[in-house]
């Protein structure tokens, strides 16, 4: 079944990325609500067709830790990618001042399982692991999106946009060629994402560095970031430290990560993820309302 634009009712905008907008849409023939990502690329028909063909492998298999793919089409030189709509959005807008350890553990379980599924079932390396690409819903599901399924799409994106490189592993910064990208680099990005979720901010940010060069040099030459010892258990901190080993070959495999005392413990424990998501959404909306009010006050002052 092929989705096309005529069957879609456009609802609100869900967010904006480097390459275009993501919109909530209603697929009229099936009644399914979807998220449609627009990727603006200047590409010829051959390349666009190749991208659609490469995306087709996603129809083959599904995982509870991967956002479902519904189909893609192109109009002129834009690719439109339709996927499962996640009603609580991405983790970057929900982690607030940092997530508690049991929630962090459940998120990690989903991320590691999703990454392992991509590698084992589809032979895919994610290549863009970060909090904006981890989506959640109010039922408490956690799923990965925006993985590198299509080599042609990745290549075209790389050519048009260098973008923010900050989740890159040290070995990717020093040997900046796509061919050196291995599964171990995803594990570094997983580690950085976990530190960000725990601290409530990106670890190499916050005005600590006065240039992109200084930031990248801290990733390459500095000690890897750590979790605060007052809020996270030793098992949890060990887990993150293993992901953030500067030597890529020393990082554990997904199977080894699933076998760590930390994930073993939380796999057996019941954590009310739906309650955490609902609470985090309320706080996010309150922050947005407060910001709106502050902006309103400033405008009133001007007039």
Catalytic residues: 128
| Pick from 169, 166, 167: nearest CA to 246 | 169
Binding ligand ATP (rule: CB under 6 A), the pick from 108, 133, 156, 245 is 133
Residue 142 and residue 43 in contact, taking contact as beta carbons nearer than 8 Å: no
Contact window for Mg ion (CB under 5 A) among 129-137, 168-176, 217-225, 252-260: 129-137
Nearer to ligand ATP, 141 or 184 (CB): 141
Q: Measure the N-to-C terminal CA separation of the chain; round to a whole number of Å.
A: 55
CB 268 to ligand ATP: min, Å = 30
Q: How far is CA 234 from CA 3, 229, 230, 240, in A?
A: 48, 8, 10, 10
Angle between helices 234-243 and 183-199 (to 10 degrees): 140
Nearer to ligand ATP, 84 or 101 (CB): 84
Nearer to ligand ATP, 48 or 67 (CB): 67
Residue 134 and residue 193 in contact, taking contact as beta carbons nearer than 8 Å: yes
Residue 113 and residue 63 in contact, taking contact as beta carbons nearer than 8 Å: yes
Is 114 an interacting residue with respect to ligand ATP (CB under 6 A)?
no
Nearer to Mg ion, 136 or 263 (CB): 136
Site for Mg ion in 221-280 (CB under 5 A): none
CB 39 to ligand ATP: min, Å = 8
SS3 content of the chain, % helix, strand, coil (to 5): 50, 15, 35
Is 189 an interacting residue with respect to Mg ion (CB under 5 A)?
no
Binding ligand ATP (rule: CB under 6 A), the pick from 14, 78, 173, 241 is 14
C-alpha 61/C-alpha 20 separation (Å) is 27
Nearer to ligand ATP, 18 or 175 (CB): 18
Residue 78, SS3 per DSSP: strand
Helical H runs in the chain?
Answer: 45-55, 101-122, 151-160, 170-174, 183-199, 212-221, 234-243, 254-258, 261-268, 273-302
Q: How far is CA 212 from CA 171, 186, 204, 218, in A?
A: 17, 21, 10, 10
Site for ligand ATP in 137-196 (CB under 6 A): 145-146
Is 84 an interacting residue with respect to Mg ion (CB under 5 A)?
no
Site for ligand ATP in 213-272 (CB under 6 A): none
CB 229 to ligand ATP: min, Å = 31
Helix (H) or strand (E) holding 303, with range, is none
On whether 37 is known to bind a ligand per the annotation, the reply is yes
CB 14 to Mg ion: min, Å = 10
Nearer to ligand ATP, 40 or 242 (CB): 40
CB 34 to ligand ATP: min, Å = 8
Site for ligand ATP in 22-41 (CB under 6 A): 22, 35, 37
Is 133 an interacting residue with respect to Mg ion (CB under 5 A)?
yes
Chain centre to alpha carbon of residue 165: 14
Q: What residue is closest to Mg ion based on CB?
A: 146
Binding ligand ATP (rule: CB under 6 A), the pick from 124, 135, 194, 198 is 135
Sites of contact with ligand ATP (CB under 6 A): 14-19, 22, 35, 37, 67, 83-86, 89-90, 132-133, 135, 145-146
User: In the complex, which residues of this chain contact Mg ion (CB under 5 A)?
Assistant: 132-133, 146
């Amino acid at each position: 079944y092929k989705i096309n634009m005529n069957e879609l009712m456009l609802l609100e905008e869900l967010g904006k990325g480097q390459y275009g907008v993501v919109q909530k849409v209603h697929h009229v023939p099936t009644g399914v609500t979807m998220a449609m990502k627009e990727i603006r690329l200047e590409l010829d028909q051959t390349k666009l067709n190749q991208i659609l063909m490469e995306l087709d492998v996603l129809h083959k298999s599904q995982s509870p830790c991967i956002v479902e793919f519904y189909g893609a089409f192109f109009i002129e030189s834009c690719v439109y990618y339709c996927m499962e709509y996640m009603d609580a959005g991405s983790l970057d807008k929900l982690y607030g001042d940092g997530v508690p350890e049991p929630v962090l553990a459940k998120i990690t379980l989903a991320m590691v399982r999703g990454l392992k599924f991509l590698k084992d079932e589809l032979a895919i390396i994610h290549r863009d692991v970060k909090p904006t690409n981890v989506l959640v819903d109010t039922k408490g599901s956690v799923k990965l999106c925006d993985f590198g399924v299509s080599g042609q799409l990745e290549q075209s994106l790389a050519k048009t946009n260098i973008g923010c490189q900050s989740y890159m592993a040290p070995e990717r910064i020093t040997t900046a060629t796509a061919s050196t990208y291995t599964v171990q680099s995803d594990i570094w990005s997983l580690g950085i994402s976990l530190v960000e979720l725990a601290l409530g901010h990106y670890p190499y940010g916050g005005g600590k560095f006065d240039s992109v060069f200084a930031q990248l040099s801290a990733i390459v030459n500095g000690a890897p970031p750590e979790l605060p010892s007052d809020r996270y258990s030793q098992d949890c901190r060990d887990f993150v430290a293993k992901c953030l080993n500067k030597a890529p070959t020393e990082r554990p495999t997904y199977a080894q990560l699933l076998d760590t005392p930390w994930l073993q413990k939380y796999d057996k424990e019941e954590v009310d993820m739906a309650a955490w998501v609902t609470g985090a959404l309320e706080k996010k909306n309150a922050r947005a309302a407060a910001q709106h009010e502050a902006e309103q006050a400033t405008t009133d002052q001007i007039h």
